[in-house]
Structure 1
Amino acid sequence: MSLSVQLPTAKKLTKKNDPLHIIKTRSQTHCRPATIAGPMVRYSKLAFRQTCRQYDVDIVYTPMILAREFVRNGHARMADFTTCDEDSPLIVQVGVNNVPDLLKFTEMVYPYCDGIGINCGCPIREQVREGIGSALIYNGELLCDMVKAVKDKYRDSVRLETKIRIHDDVKDTVKLCDDLCEAGVDWITVHGRTRTTRSSVPVNLDAIKFIRENMKYQDVPLVANGDCFTLNDCYRISEYTKVDGVMAVRGLLCNPALFDGYDKCPWGAVELFVHYAMQFGGLPYQLLQHHLYTMLENMGLDKLLLKELMEIKNTAHLIDWLDEMFVLKRKGDPGFSKVVEMPFRDSQPKI
């Protein structure tokens, strides 16, 4: 098998890297819910995951990987999954619509991660038409068959999660959660929107709270996903719904340090991200550029300078631009990754 990895060693679950143990115990050990960086199509690559880990994130997900491509195509494996020994605890999220592909996918990736998550929430039409993503919440029998097949074969050596959306009738979601628990799922993440609810509509915390209160299997952890943009949001969501963990996605894209209490992205996160992007390589330039755009926009960089950033055509010129505009420290420099405000060069007025 060919994976794009930075020479990782095969992983064995311990209390330190077992996501189930972390989710169950964070309230006792850290007086807070487990903090989780959720999967983002294209954006949850290794450099960004490692940046988030520096800011009080307990568990990090890969982007969704399509099982049918991954198990059949070596080029897809090289492109879709890059990791390293420090990339832990790590959940690899998979888009899948049948038991054989999921079992083969699990066999190939589980030595290099700490858990596998089945995507049951993606609303993209192309995925739904193929029975992947949020289509699975309406095909509970298949979803439970996939969960049971993995857990029957691997037991506790593989942690398995399902990330679902809610139904129009939340009682249907409760039933699905109960069925998943009976099939052996280790924990469930609930995005508090239906398949057709737009992200501009507030997340339905009442639905998540109802699910938590009405599940038969109260010992199976529940994670809430949706509208977590600050640490205060994390605590508010957890307190209201009584879940065991809170997942952020869009909020972390703009501010990888939100779980560490930063209300806006600190400059240190930019330095860390640039460092990891250069260290690991393989990140398409457009993704590198867009990551920096979202972080700098969150920090309040002037729109004209953001436009200038987006007009840069390659990595070398982008790094030169950052050096010209700001004091961009490298790893090993005094104060690397510690600065909070944008450190403009003396020649550049602060906007």
Structure 2
Amino acid sequence: MKNHCDINDLFTNETLVKVAAPMVRYSKLQFRTLVRKYGCDLCFSPMIIADSFIKSLKARESDFSTSNEDTPLSVQFAANNNEDFVTAAKYCDGVDLNCGCPQRWAMKEGYGADLLKKPQIIKDSVLQLRNSIPKPFAVSVKIRINPDIRLTVELCKSLEAAGITFITVHSRTPSQRCEPINLNALQDIKQSIKIPLIANGDIRSLDDALLMQELTGCNGVMAARGLLQNPALFSGYDKTPVACVEAWVKLAIESEMPFQCFHHHLVFMLEKILPKPERRIFNVLSSTPDVLDSLVNYFSIEVPVRNNLSRFRTDIIYKDETISESSYFLDKISKTTPQLPFEDYLSDSCYLFGE
């Protein structure tokens, strides 16, 4: 059984808590394993739709896996009612309610930033979960700011009173994409609450993280696209080190990661270290052998023997077979998570990752 970690201890023991953001399709177990090797203190799962997670075995196996070393871990749920949020909370060190996703499909379903218009539902969800699961289990909320910052401060104070462990604030409004973040809003929030504040937005380097703390007084920083481009960001590297690429290849091969996810991560990682002509070729490669040959030829990395990977095996311990599969999952996912072409991921990263 997985040993659970008290997330509260991070804010006591670390001067600045460094956090990997929840990223749909990206912040899965293998990537969380990688960033933990490079100074990440707390990882979030990808955003998971709570009612699908509860009702569908396939949803749980597809969206969530963990290991004994995958800690501390907070699982982020998109929920539009109290019951789903409370029922989904297990197999982790904490849960987070997504109240910040600005994507149209999420807001149409009543998830993400749409909940900012319903602060009582957010508060009731936190209260019900806190009453169901005792401390030190962490309960948190991730929000975007309101154009009227006073309403955001009121919400944060209300959630503090309801018992959340910490709050993460992306300092843009739901309608903003790549505009500069609102540092004054983060300062006002920090001065109004006693619980830890994690600041999110525009963290591209360790220097950015340290400056964010200096300017706002935040207790932690959360990075999304910055970590995709450089998983070693929190260790002070200004670009992805070759050793990090090599570690990713090992993690991906041993876990039999689907090619698309394996390749997409590498496209981000190599953005600053592969010359443009080589990137144009690498980005359109269509098979794992081609990708591995390219990496070996350019970086001289070692690729594990593909029929002898036991020493790189990730011990996935989560598997729930108590609920049988139905068509619910496929129907729900098809309605709420439309497939986007890869070009959209790269060209519209502000929209996809919220940064």
Shorter-chain TM-score above 0.5: yes
Answering whether residue 28 of structure 2 is matched by residue 11 of structure 1, we say no
Residue from 168, 181, 185 that aligns with 1:207:
185
Q: 8 Å contact 2:292–2:303 — kept in the other structure?
A: no
Amino acid at match of 2:244: A
Amino acid at match of 1:239: E
Q: 8 Å contact 1:285–1:314 — kept in the other structure?
A: yes
Partner of 1:311: 284
Q: 8 Å contact 1:24–1:221 — kept in the other structure?
A: no
Partner of 1:50: 33
Answering whether residue 218 of structure 2 is matched by residue 240 of structure 1, we say no
Partner of 2:197: 222
How high is the TM-score relative to the length of structure 2? 0.83
Q: Secondary structure at the match of 1:18?
A: coil
Q: 8 Å contact 2:2–2:67 — kept in the other structure?
A: no
| Counterparts of 1:296 and 1:128, CA distance in 2 | 33
Q: Output the aligned Cα RMSD.
A: 1.4
Residue from 69, 76, 84 that aligns with 2:59:
76
Amino acid at match of 2:46: P
Q: Secondary structure at the match of 1:100?
A: helix
Residue from 137, 142, 159 that aligns with 1:158:
137
Structure 1 range deviating more: 315-324 or 162-171: 315-324
Partner of 1:128: 107
Answering whether residue 72 of structure 2 is matched by residue 89 of structure 1, we say yes
Number of equivalences: 305
Which deviations, in whole Å up to 9, do the C-alpha atoms of 1:303-344 show, x marking residues without a partner? 221121122212122212222333112479xxxxxxxxxxxx
| Counterparts of 1:96 and 1:272, CA distance in 2 | 35
Q: 8 Å contact 2:79–2:97 — kept in the other structure?
A: yes
| Counterparts of 2:41 and 2:161, CA distance in 1 | 26
Partner of 2:116: 137
Q: 8 Å contact 1:96–1:118 — kept in the other structure?
A: yes
> Offset at 1:157?
4.5
Amino acid at match of 1:55: Y
Gaps of 5+ in 2: 306-355
Which deviations, in whole Å up to 9, do the C-alpha atoms of 1:244-292 show, x marking residues without a partner? 11111111010011111111111111111111112223x3312211111
| Counterparts of 1:331 and 1:304, CA distance in 2 | 27
| Counterparts of 1:191 and 1:75, CA distance in 2 | 31
| Counterparts of 1:104 and 1:308, CA distance in 2 | 46
Answering whether residue 159 of structure 2 is matched by residue 186 of structure 1, we say no
Partner of 1:21: 9
Residue from 271, 296, 300 that aligns with 1:297:
271
| Counterparts of 2:202 and 2:22, CA distance in 1 | 14
Q: 8 Å contact 2:80–2:110 — kept in the other structure?
A: yes
Partner of 1:284: 258
| Counterparts of 2:191 and 2:115, CA distance in 1 | 23
Amino acid at match of 1:48: F
Q: 8 Å contact 1:255–1:295 — kept in the other structure?
A: yes
| Counterparts of 2:184 and 2:12, CA distance in 1 | 22
Partner of 1:349: none
> Offset at 1:214?
2.3
User: Structure 1 segments of 4 or more deviating over 4 A?
Assistant: none
Amino acid at match of 1:204: N
Q: 8 Å contact 2:213–2:219 — kept in the other structure?
A: yes
Partner of 1:5: none
Partner of 1:100: 83
| Counterparts of 1:113 and 1:319, CA distance in 2 | 34
Q: 8 Å contact 1:11–1:113 — kept in the other structure?
A: no
Amino acid at match of 1:244: N
Q: Secondary structure at the match of 1:83?
A: coil
| Counterparts of 2:244 and 2:304, CA distance in 1 | 12
> Offset at 1:25?
3.1
Amino acid at match of 1:286: Q
Partner of 1:263: 238
Q: 8 Å contact 2:157–2:192 — kept in the other structure?
A: no
> Offset at 1:159?
0.9
> Offset at 1:158?
2.2
| Counterparts of 1:84 and 1:316, CA distance in 2 | 27
> Offset at 1:23?
2.0
Gaps of 5+ in 1: 1-8, 28-32, 333-351
Partner of 2:327: none
Q: Secondary structure at the match of 1:152?
A: helix
Which deviations, in whole Å up to 9, do the C-alpha atoms of 1:227-251 show, x marking residues without a partner? 1111111110001100111111111
The percentage of counterpart residues that share the same residue type is 39
